[in-house]
Amino acid sequence: MSKSAYEDRDDLEKIQSQWTKLTGLHTRTEWSAAVVRAATAAELAANFAIRKEFKARSKFDSDFVDGLLVWANGLSGKVDRLLLPLHEGKEHHATLKELKPVTEEINKKRNSIVHQGQFCSESEATRIIQHARKFIETLTKLYKKDFILKDKKESED
């Protein structure tokens, strides 16, 4: 894993950093914190895909695209307002629509933790983390075929 400052890492390095952190939190029974990290990693994967699409299809500068990412506001916003419309009528639109319920569950649980102070159980955390892995790997592989998330013990090797 990269030893550079977090803000200097690219999207894929940030996703892996979040994933490494969440697997450590999960093994320490910090279920709610692990879910927040999983949701963050999923949102970073959405950012990665959106940036790839804009780079391939437009001449918009990165500041404009970053502004759209802020405007879209969260995982659900990025999926509903940017990813699905960008893929409308394209090859991967059906795949993204199939992932939408997964993103809604991730977002709902994350928001209940962050905005309402709720906690989650081990089984809830495990389910959300599995959903996040599915979303991240499915989406990211559309742009980088060999992308696989590594859990904490794997990333230290």
- Per-residue pLDDT of 118-149, as tens digits, reads 999 999 999 999 999 999 999 999 999 999 99
How many alpha carbons fall within 13 Å on the CB side of residue 138?
Answer: 18
Residue 65 banded pLDDT, cuts 50, 70, 90: very high
CA angle 37, 99, 64 (to 5 degrees): 70
Distance between CA atoms of residues 31 and 21, nearest Å: 12
Six-digit token pair at 124? 């809830």
> 120 phi and psi, to 5 degrees?
-130, 160
Write the pLDDT tens digit of every residue in 93-124. Answer: 999 999 999 999 999 999 999 999 999 999 99
What's the chain's Rg over C-alpha atoms?
A: 15
Query: How does the average pLDDT of the chain come out, rounded?
Result: 93
User: 3-class DSSP state for residue 152?
Assistant: helix
pLDDT at 151: 86
